[in-house]
Amino acid sequence: MLPRCCILIICLLNTLSLPVYASVNLTLPHQHPDPEAVVKELHRRVNVSLSRREMLSNTQEKDQVSCLTGNPIDDCWRCDPNWAANRQHLADCGIGFGRNALGGKGGPIYVVTDSSDPDPDNLKPGTLRDAVSQTGPLWITFSGDMLIKLKHPLMVTSFKTIDGRGANVQITGGGCVSIEHVTNVIVHNINIHHCVPANSDGDGLHIFGSTNIWVDHCTLSDCADGLIDCTEGSTAITISNNYFFHHDKVMLLGHSDDYVADRGMQVTVAFNRFGEGLSQRMPRCRFGNFHVVNNDYTGWDMYAVGGSASPTINSQGNRYIAPSNPNNKEVTMRLDAESKEWAAWNWRTEGDVMVNGAFFVPSGDGLDAQYAMASSLAPKSADFIDQLTLNSGVMLANGGIGVGISSPTSGTGGISGGGSGGGTTVPNTPGGTYGGIQGGTYGDPTGLDGYYGMIFGSSASTLQASYQTCIILSALMILILSILLTDYAVFWPCHPYNC
């Protein structure tokens, strides 16, 4: 019979082997089925974290740290706590093809104090119509919240800035904002909605034969025709940081397939959020060169980006979230042309993120040289879309943002700046949530703790259960071994060396 010390040694070795079982167990609970995806996600989150830390490390003031988003326009002026005392600095923050728009820079400040809309032939001091009709540079602000119901199109003259920062300014009614045959106009932080025809088509904002125009941080919805139309030779235009929702024909860039003067049109569409209830034309382009960069598309009924008459469309760093309708997954649409014709049009997708089955049909020869006239700024990674479009649309004086978007507080709101608490569920995206860095918070910029938890589960309870199982198995092994050794002693005589 084996000595009892052998039995004790066997039991001891079995007990010591428990940590080994745990260490060599290659089938961890909740193990991710695609390890390569884990590595890619880790790299993405680390890159996002490092980028944000770099931005924060370059800033000294706490207020500035809290406001940085990576959006070059907003970071240019919003991080200055005294921006209201230096409003005209906004004109230095432009990007894209419309970056040289001066607006009313260098001119006096005109404060609108009266929300009424007088007859265009009988101007009333203190009204917006009086302000935009003045000659020379003028920087127009508002004394407080206003709902301006237009009776006629608001004709804006050259070198004007309509600056709605610090107030909730809404423009509605007949014709809305018309920028015709002028130059150097900035429209900023205005809510334009429910515009109807009045000696006009009823566009929210119509840019006609004009140059050096910048439309930034406006909210546009529910107009009779387009929300923004740029036609008849207009060029050097930037449309940025706007929020569009509840509309059919969102944005027209180019007058008609016969208006060849639009060949010189150059428009940047950047950092916008195309929200709920939109159908088509985001934008619809003709002839010219169009840079569609770092926008967030949350769906469409017909298509997102379309055109005719051989426009050049450079789509970079956008996020396209297709609708649920299986027949409307394509981002693009060529109009009024057979495939043998549009196959030569220069349309490309570069660095775009396609979600929920979205797909972009490129065309042309794909050479970079073909897109030189349609490149207006360096695109950022589509991973930063939530930060870049964090404050799209009108920003209210209390720190909120305009109609259709909730205030961007942590974990809530239409576009959240981090965390997984708020937002809309987006199919086929890591983590399944929309808004911010999925799974992370500002306290944990990378969100890695939550991600590892998703991969490996909660280790405490699992390891405890495994340990208990091993103890039970060990007891059973000891019992079986004891029985076998007893049988061995009964059926075999003692050997002289161990009796």
> Tens digits of per-residue pLDDT, 299-341?
999 999 999 999 999 999 999 999 999 999 999 999 999 999 9
Q: Which residues contact 175 (CB under 8 A, 6 or more apart)?
A: 150, 152, 153, 154, 195, 196, 197, 198, 199, 200, 202, 203
Per-residue three-class SS string for the chain: CCCHHHHHHHHHHHHHHHHHHHHHCCCCCCCCCCHHHHHHHHHHHHHHHHHHHHHHHCCCCHHHHHHCCCCHHHHHHCCCCCHHHHHHHHHHCCCHHHCCCCCCCCCCEEEECECCCCCCCCCCCCEHHHHHCCCCCEEEEECCCEEEEECCCEECCCCEEEECCCCCEEEEEECCEEEECCEEEEEECCEEEEEECCCCCCCCEEEECCEEEEEECCEEECCCCCCEEEECCCEEEEEECCEEECEEECEEECCCCCCHHHHHCEEEEECCEECCCEEECCCEEECCEEEEECCEECCCCCCCEEEECCCEEEEECCEEECCCCCCCCECEEECCCCHHHHCCCCEEEECCEEECCCECCCECCCCHHHHHHHCCCCCCCHHHHHHHCCCCCCECCCCCECCCCCCCCCCCCCCCCCCCCCCCCCCCCHHHCCCCCCCCCCCCCCCHHHHHHHHHCCHHHHHHHHHHHHHHHHHHHHHHHHHHHHHHHHHCCCCCCCC
| Segment 239-247 mean pLDDT | 98
| Per-residue pLDDT at 463 | 39
| Segment 390-404 mean pLDDT | 74
In whole angstroms, what is the distance from residue 483 CA to residue 487 CA? 6
197 prior amide bond cis, ω within 30: no
Least confident segment among 294-308, 340-354, 476-490: 476-490
Over residues 197-234, the pLDDT tens digits come to 999 999 999 999 999 999 999 999 999 999 999 999 99
| Per-residue pLDDT at 399 | 56
Most confident of 80-84, 400-404, 481-485: 80-84
| Segment 454-474 mean pLDDT | 45
Residue 281 annotated among the catalytic residues of the structure: yes
Least confident segment among 136-150, 185-199, 398-412: 398-412
Residue 475 has pLDDT above 90, yes or no: no
| Per-residue pLDDT at 405 | 33
pLDDT category at 486 given cuts 50, 70, 90 is: low
| Per-residue pLDDT at 366 | 83
Q: Which amino acid is at 343?
A: A
Half-sphere exposure of 127 (CA within 13 A, CB side): 18
| Per-residue pLDDT at 251 | 98
Residue 434 has pLDDT above 80, yes or no: no
Angle at 77 between CA 72 and CA 78, to 5 degrees: 95
Residue 407 has pLDDT above 80, yes or no: no
pLDDT category at 67 given cuts 50, 70, 90 is: confident
Tell me what the pLDDT averaged over the chain comes to. Answer: 78
C-alpha to C-alpha distances, 446 to 37, 317, 327, 438, nearest whole angstrom: 16, 21, 36, 9
Pick the catalytic residue: 78, 281, 286, 334? 281
Are 140 and 171 in contact by the 8 Å Cβ rule? The answer is no
pLDDT category at 24 given cuts 50, 70, 90 is: very low
Residue 178 has pLDDT above 80, yes or no: yes
Please give the residue that has the higher pLDDT: either 43 or 71. Answer: 71
pLDDT over 70 for what percent of the chain? Answer: 67
Over residues 84-132, the pLDDT tens digits come to 999 999 999 999 999 999 999 999 999 999 999 999 999 999 999 999 9
| Per-residue pLDDT at 315 | 98
| Per-residue pLDDT at 453 | 32
Are 258 and 232 in contact by the 8 Å Cβ rule? The answer is no
Least confident segment among 4-13, 23-32, 384-393: 23-32
pLDDT over 90 for what percent of the chain? Answer: 64
Residue 270 has pLDDT above 70, yes or no: yes
| Segment 47-54 mean pLDDT | 47
| Per-residue pLDDT at 410 | 30
Are 231 and 252 in contact by the 8 Å Cβ rule? The answer is yes
